[in-house]
Chains A and B, each alone.
Chain A
Amino acid sequence: MTILVLAEHDNTALSETTARTLACAGQIGASIHILVAGKDCGAVAEEAATLSGVEKILLADDPLYQHALAEPLAELILVLAPSYDAILAPATANGKNVLPRVAAKRDVPQISDIVAVETPEIFLRPIYAGNALQRVEAKGFQKIITVRASAFKPVAKANAAAPIESILPARDPRLSVFQNEVLSQSERPELTAARIVVSGGRGVGSKENFALIERIADRLGAGVGASRAAVDAGFVPNDYQVGQTGKIVAPELYIAVGISGAIQHLAGMKDSKLVVAINKDENAPIFAIADYGVVGDLFEVLPEFERALDNAGKPA
C-alpha cells in the first residue's frame, strides 16, 4: 500500500500531529510519502524528512499554499491522489477542511477521525461524542482518512533523512482569498501536544480569574484549555475549547477546574491518562470520570494547590 500523509504545519515548524498520523499510516501500509504544502516551508520538509518510516517528502512550496486554503490545496492533493491507495491527514481544522473536498472529487467516502486501525481496511472511530465506537470497513476503494492524532503515539526520528522532492503547484481555482488571521500568541505548550493540560470552565467566573488557571499551568509546564461555556463567555479565545467540537486531547494529566463535565466536554478529554476534577458541586458529572477529585471552591483549592506544589518542590 502506498500512502500519502498531509503534513500539518505553520510554514515554520511541523506539528506533532503529523508524526502521530504517520504512526497510524504505518499500521495501514509501509510505503509512506508526506506532502508538505506551504510557502517558504523548506524547513518543515526537512523536519518531516527525519521522521521514521517516511519514504519521501513531496514539497509544494508556493504562495498558493501559504494559508492552507481548502480549494487550492484540494486541487494539489487531487493531482497526486491517483498514485496512492490511501490519503491521510490529521483531524485538525486544516485536515477536516480539505480532505472531504478531496474525497468528494475522488467519489469515495471519507472515514473521519479514526482512533484505531484493526486491519488495513477496518477502522475504529468514535461517534456520538465518543459515547460509542463504530467499526467500519472500507473495501474496494481508495481510503481517505482523517486521524485523531491524540490516539496515536508519534513515530520516532529516523537515522537517515528521507529525500525531498519538489513538486509544481496545481491549478489555482481562484475561488477563495485569504484576508487575515488572528492567532493566539502563547509561550505555553500547544494544547494537543501538551503533557499536562489545565482547563477552566464557567466556574472560573471571568477573564481575570483565568489567571489562576494560567498560573497553575505555568507552574506545571502545562497547556491551558477551557470548556465551551468559558469560551462563549469570553474568558479565553476559541482555540482553547476542548470537546466534541473543539480540540481532542489525551495528555498524561488533565485538570478540570470549575467544569461540570457535559458529555460534549468529556468527548475531548476522557482519554487522558489521569483526570483530576476540582468542583464545588460534589454531584458534578466530571467526578464520574476523574481519577482524583477535590470537592471545593476553586478560589480556595487552587491557591492551596499552588502552595502545596511549592512545598512539595522543597527538599525535606
Chain B
Amino acid sequence: MKVLVPVKRVIDFNVAIRVKADGSGVERTNVKMSINPFDEIAVEEAVRLREAGIASEVIAISIGPRECTETLRTALAMGADRGLLILAEQDIEPLTVAKVLKAVVAEETPQLVILGKQAIDDDCNQTGQMLAALLDWPQGTFASKVDIKNGRISVTREVDGGLQTVDLKLPAIVTTDLRLNEPRYASLPNIMKARKKPIAEKTLADYGIDATPRLKILDVREPSKRRTGERLGTAADLVGKLRQAGVI
C-alpha cells in the first residue's frame, strides 16, 4: 500500500516571528525555514510503516515555491521514496490544498494519507479533515498512535478529555499529534542518498484548480504586549500581591 505525506515549508519553530511594519505579513526574508514539525512526524510514521512492511512506498508532496524542494529533500532523507513538487507562487488556502491533494490521490491511489494536524504558521488545523471530506474517507485526527490490520486502521486520538480510539476503514486520512513518534535525524549517508531520489514537478495549473484565495487577509498585526512584571523575593510576598489583586 502506498502512503502519501504532504509536507509544508514553514518558518522554523525556533525563530522569533517579526510582524512587518506595513502590516502585510510576517518577515520571511533571511529567516530559517524548515519542514512543519507535525509533517516531520507524519513522514516518520509513514517511513516506519514501510520499514514494518505495511507500506510499500512513501511519497512526499509539497505545494509551494521552488524552495519546497528542500522540504521534500528532508522527507526523502528521512526515508520517503520519492517526491512531488507542485509549484505555486501565491499563498494557498487549506481548502485549495485539499483539492490539489485530492487530485494527487486520484493519480497515486494511496491507501493512507498522513498529514500534520496543523501547520505552525497559519495554525489552521483544517487540511486533513477537508481532504477526508472531499474523498469521502474516514479521518483519524490528532493521532498519538496508529495500528493497521486487515484493511482497517485503529487511531488513538488526543482529545480534550484524554484519548479516544477509533477504528477506520481504509483508505483513510490520519493527522498527527506531537506524541505519535519522535522523528529521526537523517544520517549523512541518507542525506546523500536523498539527493538521488526522484522529485517530479508539476504546477497548480496542471490540476486545473483555481487557487484564488477566498478569504481576504486585510492585514497582520502585532498582538498586544504584556507589561513587564515585578520580581518578588519570597513566596509570602507573592501571596500578598495575589491577595491585593483579589485573585485569591
Contact = CB atoms under 8 A, between A and B. Distances in A.
Contact of A301 (B117, B120, B235): B235
Contacts of B218: 122, 135-137
B80 interface: no
B243 A312 contact: yes
Given A70-B129, A127-B123, A253-B248, A276 B215 contact: no
Interface in B41-70: none
B44 to A, nearest CB: 15
Nearest to B131: A104
Interface string A107-151: 111111100000000100011111111111111110000000000
B200 to A, nearest CB: 26
B177 interface: yes
B4 to A, nearest CB: 17
Contact of B122 (A69, A103, A127): A127
Given A108-B214, A127-B123, A134 B220 contact: yes
B166 A94 contact: no
A175 B137 contact: yes
A71 B138 contact: yes
A25 B231 CA distance: 40
Contacts of A220: 248
Interface in A248-263: 252-253, 263
B163 A181 contact: yes
Contacts of A289: 226, 229
B151 interface: no
A253 B118 contact: no
A101 B139 contact: yes
Interface stretch (B90-98, B105-113, B187-195, B201-209): B90-98
Nearest to A252: B247
Contacts of B144: 238
Contacts of A304: 234-236
A130 B26 CA distance: 12
A146 B25 CA distance: 22
B214 A247 contact: no
B122 A94 contact: no
A245 interface: yes
A293 interface: yes
Q: Which of A104, A131, A231, A312 has the most CB of B within 10 A?
A: A104
A305 B238 contact: yes
Nearest to A139: B216
Interface string B1-35: 00000000001010011010000001000000000
A232 B179 contact: yes
Nearest to B138: A175
B223 A136 contact: no
A264 interface: yes
A133 B239 contact: no
A178 B166 contact: yes
Given A101-B130, A175-B137, A294-B232, A112 B125 contact: yes
B148 interface: no
Contacts of A71: 138-139
A316 interface: no
Contacts of B247: 196, 252-253, 273-274
Nearest to A270: B226
B242 to A, nearest CB: 7
Given A93-B142, A132-B222, A294 B133 contact: no
Nearest to B226: A289
Given A253-B247, A304-B236, A100 B220 contact: no
A252 B142 CA distance: 29
Contacts of B141: 70, 96-97
B164 A67 contact: yes
Interface of B: 11, 13, 16-17, 19, 26, 38, 93-95, 98, 117-118, 120-134, 136-142, 144, 154, 157-169, 177-179, 213-223, 226-243, 245, 247-248
Given A10-B161, A134-B122, A293-B230, 14 more contacts: A94-B160, A104-B95, A109-B215, A113-B123, A128-B17, A131-B19, A134-B217, A176-B139, A177-B168, A181-B164, A292-B242, A305-B238, A308-B236, A311-B239
17 contacts: A97-B129, A100-B94, A100-B126, A109-B213, A110-B124, A113-B125, A130-B223, A133-B221, A134-B220, A137-B215, A138-B215, A179-B154, A181-B164, A244-B123, A291-B226, A308-B234, A308-B236
